[in-house]
Structure 1
């Protein structure tokens, strides 16, 4: 197998026309350089230099190999540079799985800033409506980190970014507009926009009702909290959504629950020691949740 060192020796010889000069350029002994050239010639099966009474002269094969060697050395140097930048968390590919409500609300400003500051970092974003499905996606090696609510269980490294408020959304002229906060008992008296079982919010909302001894008057189901907020704002019923679902929602009435209900927003990391993942997670911690995870003023 031809080594990069042997190719480096050949290029130095071709460019120096002297074993002495080439060896000095490479900071190695003449015998070591000759050993590398001999190994190269054995590998390709033909001489690459002609030894003259004074100096050396590259053969036709030597010139051809040297031309390719320059490209190989350039790419090898590039590989080292890229490896170092990736190791420093300044280049590479970061695969993010995100709860769908987190994309516009939390991630978009950070991704936009990173693209401007770190153009050598490429992002892949996958959106989910279930924290458990995201965790399985991470376990399958299809993501480097996930951002969203906490899954039922996980074997991965988890860090909490903050807590987001769960709120009630209704139409602009709804009676809830006159209330500073809304109880679950009051929600139970209204037509309710529930969630499809494929969305993790479905179980969460049902467990919340069970803890408070109420039942919803469900009029329709949706897979998306953002859609639930928009439908509620359009007077199709009332909905319970995370604050992150309000980004881009139609105008309506938004009120906190009474008593307040908060949900953890976490980042789960497949390889906590990975420099690129750590830099991105550090940025998430630094910025925190928009509005500290509460209803916009």
Structure 2
């Protein structure tokens, strides 16, 4: 297989019509360039340049090889330029797997900033229903970076973005006061989660730890949908603050004792420069608290 250096020597010699001039342009000695040409000719099995009294010119085989050599060298230059752009955060692509509740409040602002500052970077998003689904996509190499609650297990770098609280969204006819104790949930209808959403088992375990059992009046796979169902009067929904619509006028109360979880970035390839830059921007933004959760 010919080297790019040998192809570069051939193109330069043919373009300049001189081995001496080509060697000077490539900062090589004349014997070194001649050695590269000889090795390429052995590879092809035919002379590629014809030595003339005053320079060289391409043979028929040389003309054909030079044409494809130009294509190969241009591709190599593009590869290097793309690699440099990716390393500088100005090119390439990034596939982000994100827990569904975190797409709008956490991920979208960073995506918008990147779209404006780095238009050469292709960004795509895959929504997931929990940390396990995000980690599975990264393990299967179907995503490059993950934004989710901290999973039970992940073989890669985990960077903490911040912490979010689980709050109670109340139906319009319920007002327990400034906070909702876990014991207050006994006997109340709860808008719960489908088992394939990681919140379902986690909330059941948290309730059991406080001596409470959650009574599911209905189940949904989406925390955002749970907010709307609670607001419609079906029951109490226990949701992370990232699931609260920013402008929604819903009745929200903190839980006592508090229940929180870490929000993290999962990176299976910590050496990737583009992923590192994106992670730094997510950490810099942090986890915002929506107005509905601040009012109490």
C-alpha change, 1:58 and 1:293, in structure 2 (3 Å) is farther
TM-score, reference length from structure 2? 0.91
Deviations 1:181-212 (A, max 9, x none): 22223333432111111111111111121122
Q: In structure 2, what is the Cα distance between the partners aligned to 1:221 and 1:248?
A: 23
* Equivalence map 1:148-167=2 (5 Å): 148-167=148-167
Q: What is the match of residue 13 of structure 1?
A: 13
Aligned pairs, number: 295
Deviations 1:8-32 (A, max 9, x none): 1121112211222111111112222
Structure 1 residue 145: Cα displacement:
2.6
Q: What is the match of residue 91 of structure 2?
A: 91
**Residues 1:54 and 2:54 are matched in the alignment:** yes
**Residues 1:190 and 2:188 are matched in the alignment:** yes
* Equivalence map 1:1-297=2 (5 Å): 1-171=1-171, 173-176=172-175, 179-247=177-245, 251-291=249-289, 295-297=293-295
Decide which moves more: 122-131 or 278-287: 122-131
Q: In structure 2, what is the Cα distance between the partners aligned to 1:78 and 1:85?
A: 10
CA contact (8 A) 1:165 1:294 kept: no
Structure 1 residue 116: Cα displacement:
1.9
CA contact (8 A) 1:163 1:292 kept: no
TM-score, reference length from structure 1? 0.90
Structure 1 residue 61: Cα displacement:
2.8
C-alpha change, 1:149 and 1:294, in structure 2 (3 Å) is farther
Q: In structure 1, what is the Cα distance between the partners aligned to 2:11 and 2:214?
A: 78
C-alpha change, 1:56 and 1:159, in structure 2 (3 Å) is closer
Structure 1 residue 89: Cα displacement:
4.1
- Root-mean-square deviation (CA), in Å? 2.2
Structure 1 residue 275: Cα displacement:
1.4
C-alpha change, 1:294 and 1:158, in structure 2 (3 Å) is farther
Q: In structure 1, what is the Cα distance between the partners aligned to 2:261 and 2:69?
A: 58
CA contact (8 A) 1:226 1:249 kept: no
3-state SS of 2:289 partner:
helix
Q: Which runs of no fewer than 5 residues in structure 1 stay unpaired?
A: none
Q: In structure 1, what is the Cα distance between the partners aligned to 2:153 and 2:29?
A: 61
Q: In structure 1, what is the Cα distance between the partners aligned to 2:43 and 2:155?
A: 49
CA contact (8 A) 2:242 2:289 kept: no
Q: Which runs of no fewer than 5 residues in structure 2 stay unpaired?
A: none
Structure 1 residue 54: Cα displacement:
2.0
Decide which moves more: 137-146 or 158-167: 137-146
C-alpha change, 1:156 and 1:205, in structure 2 (3 Å) is same
